[in-house]
Homo-oligomer: A and B are copies of this chain.
Amino acid sequence: MSSYFGKEIHVTIFGQSHAECVGVTIDGLPAGEAVDEEALRVFMERRAPGRGAETTARREADRVEILCGVNEGVTCGAPLAAVIRNGDTRSKDYDKLRDLPRPGHADLTAQIKYGGFQDVRGGGHFSGRLTAPLCIAGGICAQILSRRGVEIGAHILSIAGIEDARFDPMGESKEVLGRVKSAQFPTLDGEAGMRMRDAILKAKREGDSVGGVVECIVTGMPAGVGSPIFGGLESRLAAALFAIPAVKGVEFGSGFGAALMRGSEHNDEIAAEDGKIVTRTNNAGGILGGISDGMPVIFRVAFKPTASILKKQKTVSLSRMEQEELQITGRHDPCVVTRAVPVVEAAAAVVALDALLERNADKL
């Protein structure tokens, strides 16, 4: 059980950082859905490295090649497969990592699981680069969802303790979400964004890295999507979100803050508005009993600081079982949060489309 996910939409991710490509298959997409490759390129561009001083210097076109599943611009019902070639790789940078696992990385655990046969180059299958195929899947799902009025947007809620404004849990317009998507630095508050960039660059100068939080909202989600217990939307979203490297926490609606609240304060008052059931607040984050209640689905995802830092660190030589100093070279993001924003959206889009399709199977 590794790199596949979903029930109606079945996503399989493959590739290693320095293999010929990374890619994805998506089985179960409805037929007849237009795939806008230009819109997908724009979506992928948001995840791409090398846009600013605060991201890794590795430059990749990240050009998506759709191999099959799309015919004359629309899905044909067959599994969609797409790849991104790995062009700009410098494999020699990574040679010694097989013996000297990097602190905070999967080097050690992969070594144990795969008995030394894992592909260590660039982190192999554990690389953040594997979020690119997830973005292909999510980008395509998001196009399909958007045509049904379901919009997904995310922003950087905090980096290094510097906080952006929060999404309005009662809803954000497509315009606001679009503005964040097209921003060079995806915050609601541009000034906070400036300070975040400074903090990233400062960490970079010091050979260090910083973490942060991404907030995501799904608007237009109809009520009644999801299932109780293990089939709940939170379970499925969390499973997809924790598949993103560096994620350490996920919370929905009021999240950890709920632990400090009284029931009378937390319960979202139910009301009727224009013949529709709504709630007056959205502490539930749009989900009750695992099922959407018609309010926006809202959640936050915590990212740890990038593990690959230039500062010297202590590790162990696995061959000699002796302490060693490790100096990581190569190109690394001092903060993954900026590039993680569309990845969080992508994970949400896959789950949202999967759950929406599943709902149709509730009735004959």
Contact = CB atoms under 8 A, between A and B. Distances in A.
Interface stretch (A53-61, A101-109, A171-179, A181-189): A101-109
A31 B268 CA distance: 27
A102 to B, nearest CB: 8
Contact of A114 (B76, B203, B309): B76
A97 interface: no
Chain A interface size band reads 35 or more
A153 interface: no
Contacts of A305: 258, 261-263, 265-266
A112 interface: yes
Given A32-B115, A104-B266, A362-B31, A5 B302 contact: no
A330 interface: no
Interface string A103-140: 11110111011111111000011100010000000000
A207 B272 CA distance: 25
Interface string A258-302: 111111111111111001010110011101111111100000001
Given A228-B125, A229-B2, A117 B23 contact: no
A117 B74 contact: yes
A67 B267 contact: no
B263 A250 contact: no
B27 A3 contact: yes
Contacts of A232: 242-243
Contact of A211 (B67, B208, B258, B316): B258
